[in-house]
């Protein structure tokens, strides 16, 4: 691993720790209610915000995200799986329908989110879908073709983990146009 990659990895670890500390602080402030004086909350909040911005700016120079290495391999689902020694996935009509619902729901609301207003959480939406005991969802937004879409997902550790999960055997992929007509909301649903 190069020095740059090690540095980026360490920055990502620091950012993760920082975000966990901020989450704890927010929980503490929430549990104490509004009784804390503003002069006690504001300096800590400002310091945390500035530290978070500095970490984010430093990580911006790390192509490929926290691992510090950019994905430059195949950009289609079958090629990605084959390159990683995994069996191909079968396109599944039921999973494609679930992905299409999610993409359309995000486009309608104008927001990228795993939880929809109408269908609830991913788990709730998948309750009526045969998943073989396991499923995952990747979502994306932007003026992306499938090559760039899969490149971005492969550069993101959680999304990459979903795509390379050896237990998944089926998938559904769909997109829906955003209101501006230039960008799309994407959803990939994977299941056993």
Predicted confidence (pLDDT) per residue in 80-121, tens digit = 999 999 999 999 999 999 999 999 999 999 999 998 777 688
Q: Lowest mean pLDDT: which of 100-109, 114-123, 151-160, 183-192?
A: 114-123
pLDDT at 153: 96
Query: If we measure between CA atoms, which residue out of 77, 119, 99 comes closest to residue 176?
Result: 99
Higher pLDDT among residues 27 and 93, named by residue? 93
Average pLDDT, the chain: 75
pLDDT bracket for residue 18 (50, 70, 90): very low
pLDDT(35) > 70:
no
What is residue 87's DSSP assignment? P
Contacts of 11 (CB under 8 A, 6+ apart): 55, 58, 59, 62, 66
Fold of 77-191: Pathogenesis-related Protein p14a (3.40.33)
Q: Tell me how far CA of residue 177 lies from CA of 27, 103, 180, 183, 189, in angstroms.
A: 37, 9, 8, 6, 18
Give the predicted TM-score (pTM) of the model.
0.64
Which tokens sit at 180? 């501006």
The tens digit of pLDDT for each residue in 39-86 reads 333 344 444 444 444 444 444 444 444 444 578 788 889 999 999 999
Higher pLDDT among residues 131 and 56, named by residue? 131
């Amino acid at each position: 691993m190069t020095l740059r990659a090690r540095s980026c990895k360490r920055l990502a670890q620091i950012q993760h720790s920082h975000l966990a500390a901020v989450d704890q602080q927010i929980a503490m402030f929430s549990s104490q209610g509004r009784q804390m004086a503003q002069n006690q909350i504001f300096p800590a909040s400002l310091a945390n915000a500035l530290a978070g911005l500095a970490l984010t700016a430093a990580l911006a120079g790390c192509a490929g995200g926290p691992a510090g290495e950019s994905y430059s391999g195949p950009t289609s689902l079958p090629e990605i799986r084959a390159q990683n020694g995994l069996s191909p996935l079968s396109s599944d009509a039921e999973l494609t329908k679930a992905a299409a619902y999610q993409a359309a729901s995000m486009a309608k609301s104008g927001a990228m989110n795993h939880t929809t207003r109408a269908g609830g959480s991913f788990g709730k939406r998948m309750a009526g879908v045969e998943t073989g005991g396991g499923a995952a969802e990747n979502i994306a937004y932007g003026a992306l073709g499938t090559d760039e879409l899969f490149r971005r997902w492969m550069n993101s550790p959680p999304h990459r983990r979903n795509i390379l999960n050896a237990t998944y055997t089926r998938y559904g992929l769909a997109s829906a146009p955003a209101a501006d007509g230039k960008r799309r909301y994407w959803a990939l649903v994977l299941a056993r």
